[in-house]
Amino acid sequence: MTITRETSLERFEQAVAVMSQLPAVDWDDLEQAAEVTREIAHRIGDDRELLAALVDRAMVVPELREKCEIHTLDDKIVIWDEPAKGLRIRLRLANTKQYERVHNHRFSFTAYLLNGTYYHTLYATDQPLDETADVTRFWPRCIREERTGDILTLHHEQLHTTLTDPDTVSLMIQSPAQKRRAFMIRRSDGEVWWRVGAADEDEARRQEVRMSDERLAYWRERLVELGIC
Q: Report the interface residues with another protein, using CB under 8 A.
A: 30-31, 34, 38, 121-122, 124, 139-147, 150-155, 157-158
CB of 45 to another protein, least distance (A): 15
- 155 and 210 Cβ atoms separated by less than 8 Å: no
Least CB distance to another protein at residue 51 (A):
21
Q: Is 27 exposed, middle or buried (0-12, 13-18, 19+ CB in 10 A)?
A: buried
Least CB distance to another protein at residue 160 (A): 8
Min dist CB 107 to another protein, Å, is 14
Nearer to another protein, 141 or 205 (CB): 141
Q: Closer CB to another protein, residue 126 or residue 214?
A: 126
Q: How far apart are CA 182 and CA 200, in angstroms?
A: 12
Residue 79 C-alpha from the chain's centroid = 10
CB 53 within 8 A of CB 11: yes
Contact indicator for 167, 156 with CB cutoff of 8 Å: no
User: Which uninterrupted H or E stretch holds 206?
Assistant: helix 203-209
User: Which of residues 33 and 64 has its CB atom nearest to another protein in the complex?
Assistant: 33
Least distance (Å) between residue 212 CB and another protein: 35
Q: Which is nearer to another protein, 88 or 105 (CB)?
A: 105
Nearer to another protein, 48 or 155 (CB): 155
